[in-house]
Amino acid sequence: MSSTKLSSRFESAFGYAFHLHADQRRKGTSIPYVSHLLSVAALVMEDGGGEDEAIAALLHDAVEDQGGRETRMEISQRFGEPVACIVDGCTDTDETPKPEWRERKEQYVAHIENASPEVRRVSMADKLHNSRTILADLERRGDEVWKRFKGGKEGTLWYYRALVESYRTGGNGYLFKELEKVVAEMERLAGQE
């Protein structure tokens, strides 16, 4: 595993991500959204991702949730086109209003199967952190957790299982194996084994 060297670009990206997401909270909680961004960046670096991937991890939701195409252009200007391309690959839409939930998720699942290794790493880290959070809340609060999600219980479980199958084509590294375990446990607790 390679060691990621971080520069002032990462610090700048964290400041920018903090600025963009400062008022956001994790779905249905009082947890600052930036905790998710830091967790995804940590998972990316722990999996051997380079600085561009770590920066993209901090910014992976910026286009989708904080400004669309204008934010994408700013990311490219500030952090380079390689970072912006990874963010693009992790974005299921830059449209406002967003297209219908199921359609967006089906397109994302199909896209991620053939995405670059960098996009797949950041995407898997994102979905791993999200699924760990869902699992923890499922263990604490039971089926109440599904009310937070547009897809509800059935749609959310479908989405994470479809992602696991899509990621499977790219090998079975740590992030994939961990995601597969967490999703299987989510399904077990939800009675979907």
Residues annotated as catalytic are: 64-65
CA-based nearest residue to 64, from 126, 125, 10, 14? 126
Which residues are CB-neighbours of 10 under 8 A, at least 6 positions away? 51, 54, 55, 58
Q: Assess contact for 70 and 142: CB atoms under 8 A.
A: no
Q: Assess contact for 104 and 156: CB atoms under 8 A.
A: no
Give rounded-to-5 percent helix, strand, coil for the chain: 70, 0, 25
Amino acid, single-letter form, for residue 89? G
In a 10 Å sphere around its CB, with 0-12 CB exposed, 13-18 middle and 19+ buried, how is residue 26 labelled?
A: middle
Residue with tokens 């990316």: 44
DSSP state of 4: P
CA-based nearest residue to 102, from 113, 110, 90? 110
